Structure 1
């Protein structure tokens, strides 16, 4: 992976975009004090370097609940029997391919993985457990914690000041 050098303008662009990716190029350029063509070129370079993975809309689950139902969010600890590279990579590949898995972290010490999953309801969680945990002979232990309230959700990379 190619290393990219970031200056103060690049950092400011990244901070502005992760706060609001819907900003127009004109507004973004004004906020970081560069010309619009320079801003466009820099953002393209940051995307091409893989620093900007994607731009998404973060939906308000509580506001959508009336129309869609609240759903069920769980934080799930997974421990495997065999922690060799092949076993870890196989489980990780299956987890990240499942749409119900919103986040997947390989962690240490303790469990091997922490997952954040979102499903429609408890039967949806049972189906997920069957797909990911029960059908994998290498899964030794599963511990699920069900969310009763989401107090904060802001995916954000912090930059040293």
Structure 2
């Protein structure tokens, strides 16, 4: 699959909003038959356009059970920026469960991480295992979120032109 038509884009858009839709509900929303819908979604999965389907949890509801937790955006600068050093650091942080997102960036720091820790002691343990023990980490700058104004994991897709 090399290109996406308007039906493919509509399917992807609907699935980004609610991946729990039944095939019949999804087909009705994009105005195709259920067999066509199923075949197209399977093709989108096989082609890699749909990486995985997940549930997005309501953090406000989980506070009662898990506590508030701590969100941090962390800038990391390495001493050595050769490809092997960058890939080694990236693989190590990407494998850590507390690291929700990892970006290699330029200019500025080498990496920006989005981290979720249960509390400050949890963050300090993470900092010790990911940053302090790594001799190649030169600088770490952490920003702690006090409020999340927006969270939207959807990829913006072009809207089909109306006739």
TM-score grouping bracket, smaller chain normalisation: over 0.9
Checking the alignment, whether the CA contact within 8 Å between 2:98 and 2:115 is kept in structure 1 is: yes
Which structure's relative contact order is higher, taking Cα pairs within 8 Å and 6+ residues apart? 2
Cα deviation, 1:64-95, whole Å, max 9, x if unaligned, reads: 10111001010000111111110110010001
Match among 68, 71, 78 for residue 70 of structure 1: 68
Q: Which residue of 1 aligns with 2:146?
A: 148
Moved over 3 A (4+): none
2: CA distance between counterparts of 1:160 and 1:110?
31
Q: TM-score normalized by structure 2? A: 0.94
Q: Is 1:122 the counterpart of 2:120 in the alignment?
A: yes
1:113 is the counterpart of 2:111: yes
Tell me, which stretches of 5 or more residues in structure 2 are unaligned? none
Question: Which residue of the partner structure matches residue 44 of structure 2?
Answer: 46
Measure, in 1, the Cα distance between the counterparts of 2:2 and 2:95: 29
8 A contact 2:11–2:41 mirrored in 1:
yes
What residue in structure 2 maps to residue 157 of structure 1?
155
- What is the root-mean-square deviation in Å for CA atoms of aligned residues? 1.0
Q: Secondary structure at the match of 1:9?
A: helix
Partner residue in 2 for 1:134: 132
